[in-house]
Amino acid sequence: MIAEIIPSSKSFGENDYFSYSVPLEFESQIHVGQMVEMPFGKKIIRGMVAKLCSNDTEVRKYELKAISKIIQGFQFPLPYIEIVKWLAEYYLCSLGEALLLFLPPVLKRPRADQGAKKENRKTSSEIKLSKDQNDIFENILANLNANQQKKPVLLHGVTGSGKTEIYLKLALEFIAKKQNVIVLVPEIILTPQTVERFEKIFGDQIALLHSGLSKTEKLNCYHDFQSGKKPIIVGPRSALLVPVDNLGLIIVDEEHEDSYKQESTPRYHAVTLAEKIAEQTGALLLLGSATPRIETFFKAKSGKYDLFILSNRYQKKTLPSARIVDLRNEIKGGNFSPLSFELQKTISEILENKRQTLLFLNRRGTATFVSCRDCGHVILCHNCSIPMVYHTSFGNDKLRCHHCNFETSLPANCPSCGSIRIKYFGAGIDKIESEVKNQYPSARVIKIDSTTVKSKNDYEHFYKMVKNHEVDIIIGTQMIAKGLDLPGVDLVGIVSADTGLHLPHYRASERSFQLLTQVSGRSGRRDNAGQTIIQTYWPEALPILAASRHDYLQFYDEEIIARKTHNYPPYCHLIRVISEHQNIDKARQNIEGIIPKLSNTYDFIGPGACFYAKLHQRFRFHLIIKAEKWPDQNLHEIAKMFPHLTWDIEPTNML
């Protein structure tokens, strides 16, 4: 007997399958989907049996190596073999790279069962739904019962509308049928309430997966879910990668988040992969968001997904009102503070009422760049050739690169002309923090960004402080926009709505709208309606106007026209090709070589220097291909000719 095996190794050139002979003592044990160990070069590695055939039907001109071991205690479910093949084709990686995604750190026998599984802490009837929520829940169940093929569902609900209650009740339904459930959250340390809610209902039936676990803990988590001991797994995109029999439901919460895209090979998008897994396994895919991606809503509008809308907050709570402040008028009025007169006044009122304020600025540091007032020289990172950011919160004044983390002291003189007239430009949240403490000295102020929150414990500490009203003013970056339920926050102040609005990215407008809408939704979560003040230099911009009204449909209707006009997704498939090299000429030449292969066949933009033209001492060039369909066999062949280039399918990062 001969086994065709996919080795669990990253790259094998043209070969994805390798043939091995099966020793007689293994023939009764081996089957398709079996994990084995076999010699590969000078190493012994793992692999998965993709095909078995008789030695009599094969003509071999060379002697095959033999499988050395059958790995017990793990079975790769048959539907996932097709998923591995699809993923390799779709995201231009080897079968080995695709297979590695679905394997635990180390394969060994699962732990011995440590007792009977505990029952659910609550039953489906104990989760109380409003009429709107219950109507959606009943309609989803009715559609499942009526249709053999489960169509994916988009649950579009405004912030605070109660999407999680529907998730919970559906999960209980599937678990009652002895089916497994996957719940994806964008970043587990930033979604404490979602995790808490599931743990409250399901208790120790949850396998909780996150980056803070050790390899052994991840392996145990993997086996708990894969074996059915714990029928529900909650985690970031990696929770999708535990192959399981009898999968019933995949929930993707906040499906619009970019963290669902992996930025290393294989560069898959978890929503696209979840759709394929649901298709292959017969599971239901449920996507939830207040601000769905344009591509997702387009699928719902065109009938590929079932669409359900929660247009009101839970228990009919009012969405926070929003006021737009034109910062151009502030300068005319002599106010050079990053806080407008109206925002300053409203913060004072909130403090008097013993409520909380959340100030949002998606920019770390004190100043966004440092420049010489005489010659205009901007201090750049020598590794990345992008402006260094001025920080004052590390014990002393420092310039830091937000890409490679290189730090240096602030120069006394301009490196170019020697002038002492060094000027700070722009404002980061460190500067906002300083301004707030000066203006409101008695207020309790905390700052939340990636410099202060580095672990799940850090985030939970801040979250509890805010929830217990131990702080009055929270200042933060996009970390505070992701799923926080803060009942004491009555005011959200968006210090600058323009950050990211004009980046060279077809999704810049969409990202701005999503972020502004999500941040605005942090206020008014309980008895008070809440309010939002949006500060901007572009008050007429569509993302700002639509976000101020919580009007997703207005934004979608206008944005989809722009996408069609300029032929961007969902009207095409984007492939970003990136060339990186320590030599700038080599980086440019490497990507220019692809142009003759694309000309007269594909619509493409570039090549040109990336927005971040140099990162980590490597120069960067890219081009963007617009393909009518994907996968595209001709583009696959072209990609094989240029393996030294990075091919990113469905890119979320165009910088």
- What pairs with residue 78 in β-bridges? none
Give every CB contact of residue 376 below 8 A, 6+ residues apart in sequence.
Answer: none
Helix (H, G, I), strand (E, B) or coil at 6: strand
HSE-CB for 572 with a 13 A CA cutoff = 19
What tokens appear for 147 in the block? Answer: 């249709």
Opening angle at CA 563, ends 562 and 568, nearest 5: 145
Strand-pair category, 407-408 with 398-400:
antiparallel
Give the pLDDT confidence score for residue 349 in this predicted structure.
95
User: In this structure, are residues 159 and 517 in contact, taking their beta carbons and an 8 Å threshold?
Assistant: yes
- Which pLDDT value is given to residue 123? 53
CA dist., res. 355 & res. 335, Å (int): 26
Read off the pTM: 0.90
DSSP annotation of 150 reads P
Of 266, 284, 264, the closest CA to residue 274 belongs to 284
CA distances (Å), 82 to each of 2, 50, 239, in order? 20, 10, 19
pLDDT 10s digits, 465-484: 888 899 999 998 887 777 66
Nearest one of 5, 24, 26, 25 to 16, comparing CA atoms: 5
Cis peptide before 192 (omega within 30 of 0): no
**Closest C-alpha among 347, 365, 387 to residue 473:** 347
How far CA 466 is from CA of 463, 475, 627, in Å, comes to: 5, 11, 47
CA distance 389 to 407: 9
pLDDT score for 115: 42
Q: Which pLDDT score, from 0 to 100, does residue 499 have? A: 82
Is the CA virtual torsion 77, 79, 82, 84 positive or negative?
A: negative
Amino acid at position 574, single letter: L
Cross-strand bridge partners of residue 324: 534
String of b and e for 368-397 (b: at least 16 CB within 10 Å)? bbbbbeeeebebbbebbebbbbbbbbeeee
Report how far residue 637's alpha carbon sits from residue 156's, in angstroms, rounded to the nearest whole number: 39
What is the set of domains in the chain, with CATH numbers? 2-101 (3.40.1440.60), 124-315 (3.40.50.300), 317-366+427-562 (3.40.50.300), 573-649 (3.30.70.600)
Joined together, the tokens standing for residue 216 give 């052994």
- HSE at residue 593, side-chain half, CA atoms within 13 A, is 15
Q: Which helix (H) or strand (E) holds 591?
A: helix 584-592
The rounded distance, in Å, linking the Cα atoms of 474 and 466 is 8
Closest CA to 491 of 370, 378, 350: 350
Structure tokens at 399: 């310039």
Going by the DSSP 8-state scheme, the letter that residue 362 receives in this structure is: S
How far apart are the C-alpha atoms of 244 and 225, rounded to whole Å?
7
Cα 37 to Cα 275: distance, rounded to the nearest angstrom: 31
Cis peptide before 266 (omega within 30 of 0): yes
Intervals of the chain under pLDDT 70: 11-15, 55-62, 106-125, 147-148, 190, 192, 315-316, 364-369, 392-396, 424-427, 483-484, 524-527
Residue 46: how many CA atoms within 13 Å on its side-chain side? 21
In sign, the C-alpha dihedral spanning 408, 411, 414, 416 is negative
